[in-house]
Amino acid sequence: MLKRLRLTLEMIRFEHSVFALPFALTGALLAFRDGGWAGGVWHKLLWIVVAMVGARSAAMAFNRLVDADLDARNPRTRMRHLPTGVLSRAFTWGFVGASVAVFLVAASELNPLCLKLAPLALAIVFFYSFTKRFTSFSHLVLGFSLGIAPAAAWIAVRGSLDPRILWLTAAVTLWTAGFDVIYACQDYEFDCREALCSVPRRLGIAGALHVARLLHVGMVLCLLALLRALDLGALAFAGVAVVVIMLVYEHRLVKPHDLSRLNAAFFTVNGYVSVLFFVFWAADIFLFKAHS
């Protein structure tokens, strides 16, 4: 059982929870800052983390189940755990169920609105797995699946939604969609052969990389809008500047004729983007929390 659990965590790239989690925690800290630092901060943050891990784990395992047949035909993914039989579908479905249960328990520990919205959140993250079969906007659907995290964290803290946090939802949506477009470039030939929908298949690799750049420009503009809407300080602005530097570096790593450094662009750089963003914005929030 422990071995299968370890293999399942490998399958869903558990360590990549770092992509969305820092933005969710940023949303929570912004909610505390805007509403006052009442008691129960650590309790809230703990259950937000549990909810994030549960939802992402369920969504990733579900995605592997839905895509198992495609993965078996794709040279890049044919050695994944389900196509090779290292993990069974039955065990993976059990893992999805357990992760959903963890997510629902966490939502119930946060507040009644979180619990009411939990099925909607699950529907969104599960829906993504089907979108590549009928729309090239699948990248944006994936982005929105991660983008709802900071808004959900705000609701977890405040019990209601402030429209201003939706700038962060938009930023994460565009950021994720941008790096997913880059990642999809490596499956260009497979997508064409299988008639799957993706921006690289529709526009070609060069066109897809241009779209990714535009999406990341949109992300930066949304962050600046959020910075202004919540009247954040110099450290938050510096965090946006760091994000810009990292995104420029990411796009310099990948060329239409050379995707050899795509994994570095996707995994390493985007991990730094989310973590460094959180560090700068959390520092700004804590250093200037008296402002609220």
CATH number of the domain within which 110 lies: 1.10.357.140
Q: What is the pLDDT of residue 126?
A: 97
Q: How many CA atoms lie within 13 A of 93 on its CB side?
A: 4
User: What is the rounded average pLDDT for all residues in the chain?
Assistant: 93
CB 202 within 8 Å of CB 173: no
Domain limits at 37? 2-291
Stretch 48-59: mean pLDDT, rounded?
Answer: 94
State the total domains in the chain. 1
| Confidence label for 37 from pLDDT (cuts 50, 70 and 90) | confident
- Cα separation, 142 vs 273, in Å, equals 18
**List of residues 6+ apart from 172 with CB closer than 8 A:** 20, 23, 143, 146, 147, 149, 150, 219
Stretch 33-53: mean pLDDT, rounded?
Answer: 86
Q: For residue 286, which amino acid is it?
A: F
In this structure, of 1-15, 142-156, 274-288, the range with the lowest mean pLDDT score is: 1-15
| pLDDT tens-digit series, residues 183-228 | 999 999 999 999 999 999 999 999 999 999 999 999 999 999 999 9
- Cα separation, 234 vs 67, in Å, equals 44
